Amino acid sequence: KNEVEQSPQNLTAQEGEFITINCSYSVGISALHWLQQHPGGGIVSLFMLSSGKKKHGRLIATINIQEKHSSLHITASHPRDSAVYICAGRVGGGADGLTFGKGTHLIIQP
């Protein structure tokens, strides 16, 4: 079982809808990352957070450390938001590489 689980796996919505993607992790983490991967394969870091909430444009990320849960919200979604959204956390000690979720494949239809 992956230590970082995302839901839903796939999401199709209409332009303008409010989008929520969830990430749960089974062990303690020091920071959680939200990443965006476009069809070409390149990955962009959207947020890194260890508590509370962060906002950038139409994107909002929240984290609840006690519940081991984070959400990524997209307001006023647009077709250009279509991508795979990945959460990742550093789990435990040792290498500071990250454990990644499988991603949420988001399609926003015009």
Partner 1 sequence: EADIYQTPRYLVIGTGKKITLECSQTMGHDKMYWYQQDPGMELHLIHYSYGVNSTEKGDLSSESTVSRIRTEHFPLTLESARPSHTSQYLCASRGQVDSPLHFGNGTRLTVT
Site residues for partner 1 per CB under 8 A: 2, 30-31, 33, 35, 40-45, 48, 50, 86, 88, 90, 95-98, 100-103
Give the nearer residue to partner 1 in terms of CB position, either 30 or 75.
30
Which residues, 6+ apart, have CB-to-CB distance to 66 below 8 Å?
Answer: none
Label residues 31-49 b or e (16+ Cβ within 10 Å = b): ebbbbbeeeeeeeeebbee
The least distance separating partner 1 from the CB of residue 103, rounded to whole angstroms, comes to 7
The least distance separating partner 1 from the CB of residue 20, rounded to whole angstroms, comes to 20
